[in-house]
Structure 1
């Protein structure tokens, strides 16, 4: 099975009120706060005319048999 591309990790300092708003929005949309921040960043980039390709998602489930 191929490994999924690693995500870049970095520290992000947010105003507590902004973080709380992101957590509320994420809960409403059934996402993690991290996924919500990534989605908001992608939307902001797209509004500025910058298209970011989505990385391939890892395959889930049991690998196919090799008979």
Structure 2
């Protein structure tokens, strides 16, 4: 399971309100929406490494 770390975030009220509305539209929590947007931006910029392969995951169908 992936480690989670808490981080206090200072954000303008306008941006926070917009993120809250967006998260409600997507049926996500505000925290999940912020993480989703950050992950998407990191993935698009090539800065997010793919997760390590799970050696216990047998996707070959054997």
TM-score (norm 2): 0.72
Higher relative contact order, structure no. (Cα contacts within 8 Å, ≥ 6 residues apart): 1
Aligned-residue RMSD, C-alpha: 1.5
Would you say how many aligned residue pairs link Structure 1 and Structure 2? 51
CA 1:5/1:51 → structure 2, altered by over 3 Å: closer, same or farther? Answer: closer
Q: Structure 2: where are the runs of 5+ without partners?
A: 52-62
Which blocks of at least 5 consecutive residues in structure 1 are unaligned? 55-67
TM-score, normalised by the number of residues in structure 1: 0.67
